[in-house]
Amino acid sequence: MARFLLCLCLCGTSLICRAQESPYVVTYDHHLEEPGNLEIETFSTIGIPRSNQNAYIAPYLELEYGVTGRWTSELYLEGQGTAGDSTVFTGWRLENRFRPLKREHWINPVLYLEYEDINEASRILKEITGTPDVTSPNAELQPIKVRELEAKLILSSTVRDWNIAGNFLTEKNLSRDEGFEFGYAFGFSRPLSSLASAQNCRFCRENFIVGVEFYGGLGSTVDGVGFRHAAHYAAPVVSWQVSENASLHFSPGVALSGLGSPVLIRIGYSYEVRGFGNKLAQLFGSRR
């Protein structure tokens, strides 16, 4: 299992990929994967510890497929390794996003539904609804299974060169009776330039998208709704398109509360297989 997680991290430093529509790590906007395209993405969350914590790295592999122009489906495989502890596989997630409106509007809603089959050692922090446990050993956390349903309302708008997005989420643990948990994420971003350069270059301003996102928990129906019992982060985000089909993402998040890790460093790469659905159909069709 340790070799598997190491491969995920190495893939993240070796794959050449396309630039995404936005640089966000946690916040979703209204852009979906193109129909028939498959995006392979690796991300790693590095937790910088407090005095009573250990540093960790939590990589995940994401397979994102554009089912239609208004429906994108994603599969996540995730793991986690803690300094002075162990490396463990923490589970998988299946996510679906659906745009109910066909055309672009001033505010574009997206409906999100995810099923998670993970364990308590999970630390990729794709969303935050409470306080992540970063002090207990992996041997205690991994056996505790967590099967959850998560729903989000995604609202996103493009104003000139700016993207503004807000996510509101609710999560229900199906393994235990913990009530409903709530969280949020919102961000804004823009390219450094909206005009394309006359020459083809990697370091042109239009190849960089920068922004800021904020995310954290909003309590639960058990402990009460509010900001007190959850971690909160502010994170600048940067996306660099290194070639026509390649991008690099980087985001250092800083805690706004005394809960969780004080700093989260996110590094990610993705690779897109364009026309994957057509190629797959042709492959199976040729074998008939």
pLDDT for position 106: 93
pLDDT for position 133: 84
Return the structure tokens found at 80.
């986690």
pLDDT for position 8: 42
Which residues make Cβ contacts (< 8 Å) with residue 246, sequence separation at least 6? 16, 17, 18, 19
Return the structure tokens found at 200.
């083809």
Instruction: Flag residues of the chain having pLDDT under 50.
Output: 1-20
3-class DSSP state for residue 280? helix
pLDDT for position 1: 46
pLDDT for position 250: 97
Q: Tell me, what CATH number does 104's domain have?
A: 2.40.160.40
Return the structure tokens found at 160.
């000139």
Domain count, the chain: 1
pLDDT for position 200: 78
pLDDT for position 12: 39
State the residue range of the domain holding 189: 2-286
Q: What is the DSSP letter of 207?
A: G
Q: Which residues of 212-240 are buried (b: 16+ CB within 10 A; e: fewer)?
A: bbbbbbbbbeeeeeeeebbbbbebbbbbb
pLDDT for position 237: 98
pLDDT for position 36: 95
Instruction: Identify residue 171 by its one-letter amino acid code.
Output: E
The pTM of this model reads 0.88
